[in-house]
Structure 1
Amino acid sequence: MMTITGPRTDTALADTNQHYDLDPEIFGLFLDPSRKYSCGLYRSETDTLADAQINKLRFVAERLGLRGGERLLDVGCGWGSLLLFMAREHACRATGISPAARQHAYISGRARELGVADQVSTWQGHFEEIDLPAGSFDAVTMLGSIVHMPDLTAVFARARALLRRGGTLYVSESCFRNAAAHGAFHRRAGTRFVGETIFGWGDMRPLSDLVRGAEDAGFSIVGLDDLTADYRRTIDDWLTNVRSATDDIERIRPGLTGELERYLEIANAGWGYTTKHYALTCRKTR
């Protein structure tokens, strides 16, 4: 297991990742056991949050067309759920990128516990700045991370450069329903609270912006899935867990429960009306 620090300073990292630098124990109180912090995939009415997150990881593997042993880069790797799953289930050599220092320490520990430390590595820093060899990955994934990256053109171009010919990019992201909704809601109090108070920076663009960014970079769009209902149910489960764990969360950081509740309530309020959640699969065909 290797963790390499990228070029940005600690101050710059904190400016855009304050939410992810919280005590890791907090996330263990309201996420599923793998600490996957993105949309799940509910196959039945009886699926639990844990079921949904395993379903989603299998879905990502299917969209990437994994057959075993691929070189995979997860941008915004969070607490390592995708890295660890792909290493264990598909023998991938999985590399993660995140600016949040605490996430790297957690992933390193879990990789050792699961016996995949030789297959999992992480870089601390920002995707746009980390120096990796061109064409060195079979697959790149971004689950809920491109929302925190200001320059879509640079992000898609970088992802394409890092993929081998025939490689696949998977992006799942929350989006405003269209350009008009983006303009109307982008600077409302609730949207600004989530972007500034919780994360530090974020912008939910319309899906058309993501598609244009991918196409302009030279990708072929090979798949689009609407996961809006699944993300709404995921957030409902997170919110239920936050409320159940109020005492423990407040013990770790007083006042955080209220912030988390407000964030999740705002995030869920517009699903299907002002916001959507999509999975976009792109291929480097030339």
Structure 2
Amino acid sequence: MGRKTDAASRLAAALAIVLGTSEIPLRLRAWDGSEAGPAGAPLIVFRSRRALRRILWSPGQLGLSRAYVSGDIDAPDDVFASFSALSSAGKLAEPGPFRRPTVRELAFLVGTAVRLGALGPNPAPPPEEARIVRAGRRHSKKRDAAAISHHYDVGNDFYGLVLGPSMVYSCAVWDSEDTGLEAAQEAKIDLVCRKLGLRPGMRVLDVGCGWGSFALHAAQRYGADVVGVTLSTEQAALAGKRVADAGLTDRIEIRVQDYRDVEDGPFDAISSIGMSEHVGGEQMPAYVSRLHGLLRPGGRLLNHAISWNAGPTDPDPDSFIPRYVFPDGEMLSLAETVTALEGGGFEVLDVEALRRHYALTLRAWVRNLEDHWEEAVDIVGAGRARVWRLYMAASALGFETGLTGVNQVLVQKAGGAEPPLRRTDWI
């Protein structure tokens, strides 16, 4: 077949070694136009020799991620099918350290790079990689602020394209797969309000308030007075504007503030929606203690968080999510979260698993991004848009396979009124 088929077939052999599999369920197209792999399989395009060089220098998830974010690799067909095939072949979704090639395999990879003219120095990582965030002590207030800024301060207009008018950046609650995203997000926020037992005049703390959607709903629909705190200056700016536009500045206060610095309790209820993933396992007891101390007796806390369902593991700091998406983020198991909450003096009232709901939410966000791709690229650049596309599509697959989950854990501080005998307050 000559040189026209040589590049793609050699790439296929090299990628199989990197993924630790005998064959890959993908069709590969090389920079020279050659192709290899089963007909009808999802297509992965290697646009330049630099893609192979990135993978050789960082075998596994990080090298592949860098190649995709930089545009050296593309998945022009169904992004979910392509990422699913890669993940199933090499377990790329798992956060633990990736399998390193043996000496013999490494020699083959280097030889492949020589034959394809891809041997050379390690290419610089894409600028979207969060390298500077790692300065300082892990989960110090300064480092947490930098990590939050990396993820959330990328432009409110960009998030508006992805999230839609609700501006809610956490799992929605769907009555069915046909429920629209906006209705599903409103249902989730209302469910949280009901679980917290909100009533007019109650004082509520929203930890990690995002763009203010929960605060607005709690004030408008339930008559609550809400303090929302976030470390993102861009989130706070838009949340404050939304509050002012709604005429609710007397009922809602938005602060750029670390929850550890909140001193004006007590609160009747606390919502923490998609925030505790930023806390870290070692800091969970302090997080729980802090929120427990801010609640009045009998007050409720709703902790809504992604969970790691595949057993205990040490997260790999050099995998895609910590490098590009959530620096210093940590997923705990549901058992670890419940243990921390009970250990901090809370009584568990309810646990609801929403794994399938997050898969639907992420697929809706990916559709929004792809429907507005050119506009998104204009706002944040192609690299950042590709980071979010990879992150959301891969995360959807993680929820669909059960690798990850998401749970709402409702707890109550001792004292005050007894909880209802059954869930009639929120079902």
Question: Could you state the TM-score of these two structures normalised by the residue count of structure 2?
Answer: 0.61
Counterpart of 2:279 in structure 1 is 149
CA distance in 2, matches of 1:72, 1:276: 27
Q: Does 1:138 align with 2:268?
A: yes
Identical counterparts, % of pairs: 27
Counterpart code for 1:116: L
CA distance in 2, matches of 1:188, 1:49: 32
**1:199-242 superposed Cα distances (whole Å, 9 cap, x missing partner):** 22200111111001101100000000011111110001001111
Counterpart of 1:23 in structure 2 is 155
CA distance in 1, matches of 2:217, 2:206: 12
**1:23-47 superposed Cα distances (whole Å, 9 cap, x missing partner):** 1100100103120000000113331
CA distance in 2, matches of 1:284, 1:8: 26
CA distance in 2, matches of 1:80, 1:284: 25
Secondary structure class of the residue paired with 2:151: coil
Secondary structure class of the residue paired with 1:205: coil
CA contact (8 A) 1:17 1:200 kept: no
Larger mean CA deviation between 155-164 and 198-207 belongs to: 198-207
2:331 to 196, 204, 229: 204
Question: How big is the shift at 1:194?
Answer: 1.6
2:375 to 245, 248, 268: 248
Secondary structure class of the residue paired with 2:408: strand
After superposition, residues 17-96 of structure 1 pair within 5 angstroms as 17-96=149-228
CA distance in 1, matches of 2:237, 2:284: 29
Counterpart code for 1:277: V
Secondary structure class of the residue paired with 1:179: coil
What is the count of residue pairs matched by the alignment?
Answer: 272
Secondary structure class of the residue paired with 1:240: helix
CA distance in 2, matches of 1:107, 1:15: 20
CA distance in 1, matches of 2:310, 2:199: 36
After superposition, residues 250-265 of structure 1 pair within 5 angstroms as 250-255=377-382, 256-265=384-393
Counterpart code for 2:338: V
Question: How big is the shift at 1:97?
Answer: 1.0
CA contact (8 A) 1:69 1:92 kept: yes
CA distance in 1, matches of 2:251, 2:322: 34
Question: How big is the shift at 1:179?
Answer: 3.0
From the CA coordinates, give the structure whose radius of gyration is larger.
Answer: 2
Counterpart code for 1:131: V
Counterpart code for 2:284: L
Secondary structure class of the residue paired with 2:395: helix
Larger mean CA deviation between 213-222 and 171-180 belongs to: 171-180
- Give RMSD over aligned pairs: 1.7
Q: Does 1:97 align with 2:226?
A: no
Q: Which runs of 5+ in 1 are unaligned?
A: 1-6
CA distance in 2, matches of 1:45, 1:232: 10
CA contact (8 A) 2:355 2:402 kept: no
Larger mean CA deviation between 90-99 and 62-71 belongs to: 62-71
CA distance in 2, matches of 1:114, 1:48: 24
Question: How big is the shift at 1:133?
Answer: 3.1
Counterpart of 2:243 in structure 1 is 111
CA distance in 1, matches of 2:267, 2:410: 15
CA contact (8 A) 2:230 2:257 kept: yes
Counterpart code for 1:259: V
CA distance in 1, matches of 2:333, 2:185: 25
CA contact (8 A) 2:208 2:273 kept: yes
Counterpart code for 1:149: V
After superposition, residues 231-246 of structure 1 pair within 5 angstroms as 231-246=358-373
CA distance in 2, matches of 1:210, 1:119: 31
Secondary structure class of the residue paired with 1:270: helix
1:270 to 398, 407, 417: 398
Question: Could you state the TM-score of these two structures normalised by the residue count of structure 1?
Answer: 0.90
CA contact (8 A) 2:207 2:272 kept: yes
Pick 1 or 2: higher relative contact order, CA cutoff 8 A, min separation 6. Answer: 1
After superposition, residues 141-180 of structure 1 pair within 5 angstroms as 141-150=271-280, 151-180=283-312
Secondary structure class of the residue paired with 1:169: strand
**1:142-186 superposed Cα distances (whole Å, 9 cap, x missing partner):** 111000012100100111100000100001111011533x34xx3
Q: Which has the higher strand share?
A: 1
Q: Which runs of 5+ in 2 are unaligned?
A: 1-139, 416-427
Question: How big is the shift at 1:120?
Answer: 0.8
Counterpart of 1:282 in structure 2 is 411
Counterpart code for 2:351: L
**1:3-55 superposed Cα distances (whole Å, 9 cap, x missing partner):** xxxx955x762234311111110010010312000000011333100000000
